[in-house]
Structure 1
Amino acid sequence: MNSNALKPSMGILNLVEGEKKFTLSRYAPSEDIGFFVKHFWVVSWDLTGHAPYNQELVPNPCVNLIIEPNKTAIYGIPKNKSSYLIREKGHVLGVKFKPGGFYPFIRQSVSVLNGNPMGVENVFDVDARAIEDTILNQQEDSKMVELAEHMIRQKLPARDENITLINRVIDQIIEDREITKVDHISQQLNINIRKLQRLFEQYVGVSPKWVIKLYRLQNAAESMDLNQNHNLLKLSMDLGYYDQSHFIKDFKSIIGITPDEYIRKFL
C-alpha cells in the first residue's frame, strides 16, 4: 500500500531539505476509491526544542481533503506558491483527489473551492472535530487511511468517464514537453478546444492553459535542478518561450521567485 519507493517532489520545493524536518509518506488508495483519489499522504514531524520550519509548495491541479487539528477542510487549487509552517510535534493526513476527481462529490464547478475551503460536513456528513479525533489519534498510518477511505466510501458517487479523459489530457501534458498551447493538446487528442475548456473549468477548477503553464514551469525548475550550467535563455526557448521576460514572469507566478532567485536559493 505504501508508495514511497518512487517519491517525486510533486510540488514540494527543496524536498531534500524538508525531509530533514518531517517525514512524508504516500499511500495508494483501494481500487474503488482510486478512480477518484490519486493517493493519501501523511506528514509527521517532531521539532520539539527546535525552530519551526516553513515548507514551500507549488500548486498542482488537484483538490485536497486535509485532516489536521482545528483546520480540517477540503481545499481547492492555489494559483501560486503557498507555504506550510510546522512546529512542535504533530501529523496531518491528506487525501489528494485526481484532477477532476472531486467534482462528482459536489456536482458544481470545482473553482468554488479556490480560495474558499469547504467543510467536510458539507460533503461527507461528518463532524470535522470528530473525524480529527478518530483519525489523527490512530497509531498507524494504514489505520488512518482505512478510516478516511471508509468516510469517502459512504458518499462515493458513480464513476464519471470525464475524469478519465481529463487525466489522459494531463498525463499527455506532463509527458510531452512540446505541448505549450491548448490547441496542441486539442489536436493531439482530437478534443474540441471549447469542450476542453468547459471540462477543466467545471471538473478541475482551472483552465487547461494554466495547467500547461504549471507543468512547463515545474519542468523548468526540474531542469535547473539537474543542469549546473543554468542557461536560462536556452531553457526558456526549449520550453516554448520566445521572450525571456515572459518566461521569468511566468516562473515567478508559479514558483514564487525568479529563476535567478531559485538558483541562488536552492542550488
Structure 2
Amino acid sequence: MTTPEMGRGVLRPAVAATRFELLREEPAEAVAPYVEFYWIVRWDLRGRPPHEQKVLSHPNVHLVFEQPETAVYGVQRGVFTRVLRDRGQVLGVKFRPGGFRPLLGSPVADLTDRSVPAAELFGPAVTAAERTILGASDVSTMTATAESLLLSLLPGPETAPDPVTAEVAAMVERITASPSLFRVDALADDLGVSVRKLQRLFAEHVGASPKWVLRRARLHEAAARADQGVGIDWAALAADLGYSDQSHLTRDFTATVGASPARYAGE
C-alpha cells in the first residue's frame, strides 16, 4: 500500500501503511446522499508491538463496526487515537457532513467529542450486522451488510433527501477545497449566508463550528505538507494558510498534534 492511499488526516501515513491496510468503498446510489464512503481497516500485528495510530479527524460522523462494541462517533475535535494490537478488522461508515442528521433526529452537535453505542440509537439490528461484518473475509459482504442496515434506517426512496443535507455538505466541501478561506465572515460572504445562519447550520447538521472546520482544514494541509519531509518553508506555508506568522502556525499545530511542524516532519 502506498502512502497516499492513507488519506488526509492519518498522521505519519508512511509508518501507518506498514502497520495496517486501509480500503475504501463507494456507497450505492440509494445511500450516497448521506454516506461519503465505507472504510475498512485490517491489521495483523501478531508477534509485533501494538501500534498507536493518530488521526486528525474530519467534520464527519462515523458509524464503526468494531469490538467490543459498534459505536457512532461524533466529530472528534481533538486528535483521535486508536491502539491496534494482535489481529482484527473494523468497518466504518463515513457520513457526509450533515448526512447523519436524518438518522439522529436531533442536532449533530449533541454527539460532538462523544461516542454512543450504535445499538442504543438503532436497536438490536446493529448487533446482528456487527456479527456478519466482523466475521466476513470479503469486503463486498461487509459493505453490503452495512448498507442493508442503513437502508432500513434512512428515509425510504419515496422520501426525497432533505435539501439542507446536500447544502451543508457542499459548504464543508467549499472549505476543504479552498485553503485560502481563513475567516468565518469571509466564508459566509462566499456562501451567501449570514454568519449566524452558518453557525446554526453547522451546529445542527455538522457537529462542529465553521471556525473549527476552517481551522481543521488548515491543519490537514499543514500535516500533509509536513508528511512530505524536511525542506519546507514554514513561514511561507503559514502565510499561505492565513496564519499571522510562522509562530502562530507552530502553536496551533503543536497544540493539536503534540509536536511542532518541523519536529513532526523530521521524525
TM-score by length of 1: 0.91
Alignment of 1:61-100 (within 5 A): 61-100=59-98
205, 208, 212: which one aligns with 2:207:
205
Q: Which amino acid aligns with 1:132?
A: E
The secondary structure found in structure 1 opposite 2:109 is helix
Q: Is the 8 A contact 2:26 2:37 kept in 1?
A: yes
Separation in 1 of the partners of 2:262 and 2:222? 12
Q: Which amino acid aligns with 2:11?
A: L
**What do you get for the CA RMSD once the two structures are aligned?**
1.9
141, 165, 177: which one aligns with 2:179:
177
Alignment of 1:170-249 (within 5 A): 170-226=172-228, 228-249=230-251
Evaluate the alpha carbon distance shift between residue 29 and residue 131 of structure 1 in structure 2; reply closer, same or farther with a 3 A threshold.
same
Separation in 1 of the partners of 2:193 and 2:153? 31
Q: Which amino acid aligns with 2:21?
A: T
Q: Measure how far apart 1:55 and its partner are.
A: 1.2
Q: Which amino acid aligns with 2:68?
A: N
Separation in 2 of the partners of 1:224 and 1:257? 11
Q: Is the 8 A contact 2:60 2:96 kept in 1?
A: yes
Evaluate the alpha carbon distance shift between residue 225 and residue 135 of structure 1 in structure 2; reply closer, same or farther with a 3 A threshold.
closer
Q: Measure how far apart 1:36 and its partner are.
A: 0.4
Aligned equivalent of 1:251: 253
Q: Measure how far apart 1:29 and its partner are.
A: 0.3
Aligned equivalent of 1:135: 133
Q: Measure how far apart 1:128 and its partner are.
A: 4.6
State the identity as a percent. 34
Q: Measure how far apart 1:127 and its partner are.
A: 5.0
Evaluate the alpha carbon distance shift between residue 262 and residue 93 of structure 1 in structure 2; reply closer, same or farther with a 3 A threshold.
same
Ranges in structure 2 where 5+ consecutive residues have no aligned partner: none
CA deviation vs aligned residue, 1:236-257 (integer Å, no higher than 9, x gap) = 1221111333222221233332
CA deviation vs aligned residue, 1:51-73 (integer Å, no higher than 9, x gap) = 11111111110001111121211
Separation in 1 of the partners of 2:185 and 2:43? 44
Separation in 1 of the partners of 2:151 and 2:125? 16
Separation in 2 of the partners of 1:100 and 1:175? 17
Separation in 1 of the partners of 2:181 and 2:195? 14
Q: Measure how far apart 1:20 and its partner are.
A: 1.2
Aligned equivalent of 2:10: 12
TM-score by length of 2: 0.91
Q: Is the 8 A contact 2:230 2:266 kept in 1?
A: no
Separation in 2 of the partners of 1:162 and 1:114? 20
Ranges in structure 1 where 5+ consecutive residues have no aligned partner: none
Q: Which amino acid aligns with 2:103?
A: F
Alignment of 1:6-85 (within 5 A): 7=5, 9-85=7-83
Which range is displaced more, 149-158 or 24-33? Answer: 149-158
Q: Which amino acid aligns with 1:243?
A: D
Q: Measure how far apart 1:227 and its partner are.
A: 6.7
